[in-house]
Structure 1
Amino acid sequence: MRSDGAKAGLGLKLAAAGGLAFLHLPLLMILLYAFTTEEKSYQFPPPGLTLKWFAVAWARDDIWAALSISVQIGLVSTAVALLLGTLAAAAVARRRFFGRETISLLIILPIALPGIVTGIALRSAYSLADIPFSFWTIVLGHATFCVVVVYNNAVARLRRTSPFLIEASMDLGANGFQTLRHVLLPNLGTALLAGGMLAFALSFDEVIVTTFTAGQQTTLPIWMLSELVRPRQRPVTNVVAVFVIAVTFLPILVAYYLTRDGEQVGGAGK
């Protein structure tokens, strides 16, 4: 019988390495072809390396416009998700009422549904309600799944936080706002920050739901999708893809480091 500290076998190491290579080699190829001198096709190895595509992308006004819309939608969607997700988590974690588990399931459901199902459902709802497609219809579409990641982080942290802290705070004369500021937020802070970062990352690179809920607006992922059919624009698209990878990777990395020790939070502020 192996102990917990036993080393993994060679087969397991090779399988793990193969899985990591399968996941990350395509990302490295995108990074490589952002520097290629070849415009129309992908050759390996590339015929040469250049930085000119970064300059071309920097000078493109349509890229900056799409980036601006994506950032705005991500920030607003994240703000909506933080508000609704935190309130829902507080209700589910701190109160017992009929249908609580059903409500929790309904909140989590949008993240489990395929994006195309969510997109079709939202588009049908907007059409039936005669709501014109705009910036705000995209925000509402993104908020449906951004709420889930905030809710999951907040409800997990609330369930690990002792309810006696709130009672002690009230017994010592603190009002509701003081208890929120000095007791709840220090315990929820990193969970909400991590949830907000994950929500922004999900919103920033969303394609399917955006396709069904956008009007004339073009987000950065939609711009990339439309540019892929133009052979001469592939290196510029790869440059933008590298930027999207960085923007979505960094929040996820920070969220991981903020929440990896969350199970140790029982009562003290983190």
Structure 2
Amino acid sequence: MTTTTAPAAAKAPARRRVPRKGLGLRIYTWAVIAWLVLPIAVMILFGFNDTSSKFNFEWEGFTLKWYAQLFDREDLTTALINSITIALASTVITTVLGTLVGLALGRYSFRGKGVSNLVLFAAISSPELVMGASLLSMFVTLNTPRGYATILVSHVMFSIAFVAMTVRARAVGLDPSIEEAARDLGAGPWTTFRLVTLPLIMPGVISGALLAFALSIDDFIITNFTSGSTVTFPLWVWGSTRTGTPPQVNVMGTLLFAAGVLIAVLNMVASRRRARRG
């Protein structure tokens, strides 16, 4: 008679404790984020400060009156309108021109392509002080009165390289067989661009446009060289803080920051939806 021994019950595998690797790096990362957010938090907080002093440095109480009185100052309203209109006009012009340049550099080979890339990289890496001084010298040499038009031209000139490089990075990765298939089906050059190429590079175009708008609306150095008597919002902030810090500065900064965050979130959501659709 053969006896069998029941197999011993299998022991449950011991749970391995995941080592807390990179704890120091995570702490450092959060410390850097906190350092970056701290000035913004102070700005938002002091936008609600019920101060009677022109120097908005001490907390005196909570109030919403500065939001209600935001546009009571005509000089602030004028400066803000100047900044927004210049930024919008600059963004439209820069997006069109930069997209064409980016497509040319990303999709085609031509003589001078390397030099063109070098010039665009030089424009991106050049200090704004150098570009502002060179633009001022050009306008003075051409005897051009400084004002709204010179600011617009300057903003287009320094931001077009950013749009071109953003679109170029998107255009380089496109599959040319998709456009070839559209042409084989009878689509002309304009139809192919409108229905095939443009939708494929649209994420790069949108990113470049948002970057151009952000660069334009908060530019101070180049605008200071080329503004003449025209005052934009950054110039108004600089001028007002030399004699005090109006609470409206914090309020407007808070609203611009909130608008930027909203646009970034919407862009991220749209990108995820496009990725899900494939």
- The TM tier, using the shorter chain, reads 0.7 to 0.9
In the TM superposition, 1:1-270 aligns within 5 A as 8-38=21-51, 39=53, 40-43=55-58, 46-231=59-244, 233-255=245-267
Instruction: In structure 1, give the amino acid aligned to 2:112.
Output: G
For the Cα contact (< 8 Å) 1:74–1:204, is it kept in 2?
yes
Deviates more, 1:149-158 or 1:27-36: 149-158
Rounded Cα–Cα distance in structure 1 between residues aligned with 2:194 and 2:31: 47
Cα pair distance change 1:150/1:28, threshold 3 Å: same
Deviation of residue 248 (structure 1)? 3.9
How many aligned residue pairs are there?
A: 259
Quote the sequence identity (%).
Answer: 32
Instruction: In structure 1, give the amino acid aligned to 2:146.
Output: F
Instruction: In structure 2, give the amino acid aligned to 1:239.
Output: V
How does the TM-score come out when normalised to structure 1? 0.87
Cα pair distance change 1:202/1:255, threshold 3 Å: farther
Rounded Cα–Cα distance in structure 1 between residues aligned with 2:141 and 2:256: 34
Rounded Cα–Cα distance in structure 1 between residues aligned with 2:122 and 2:249: 33
Cα pair distance change 1:219/1:182, threshold 3 Å: same
Rounded Cα–Cα distance in structure 2 between residues aligned with 1:143 and 1:124: 17
Deviation of residue 156 (structure 1)? 1.2
Provide structure 2 residue ranges, at least 5 long, that are not aligned to the other structure: 1-17
Rounded Cα–Cα distance in structure 1 between residues aligned with 2:246 and 2:180: 60
Q: Which has the larger radius of gyration?
A: 2
**How large is the RMSD of aligned CA atoms in angstroms?**
2.4
Rounded Cα–Cα distance in structure 2 between residues aligned with 1:151 and 1:252: 20
* SS of alignment partner, residue 206 of structure 1: coil
Cα pair distance change 1:214/1:257, threshold 3 Å: farther
For the Cα contact (< 8 Å) 1:157–1:188, is it kept in 2?
yes
Q: Deviations over 1:49-75 (max 9, x none)?
A: 111112222322222211111111111
Rounded Cα–Cα distance in structure 1 between residues aligned with 2:94 and 2:272: 22
For the Cα contact (< 8 Å) 1:191–1:258, is it kept in 2?
no
Rounded Cα–Cα distance in structure 1 between residues aligned with 2:219 and 2:177: 41
Instruction: In structure 1, give the amino acid aligned to 2:222.
Output: V
For the Cα contact (< 8 Å) 2:46–2:56, is it kept in 1?
no
Deviation of residue 247 (structure 1)? 3.7
* SS of alignment partner, residue 246 of structure 2: helix
Cα pair distance change 1:253/1:138, threshold 3 Å: farther
Provide structure 1 residue ranges, at least 5 long, that are not aligned to the other structure: none
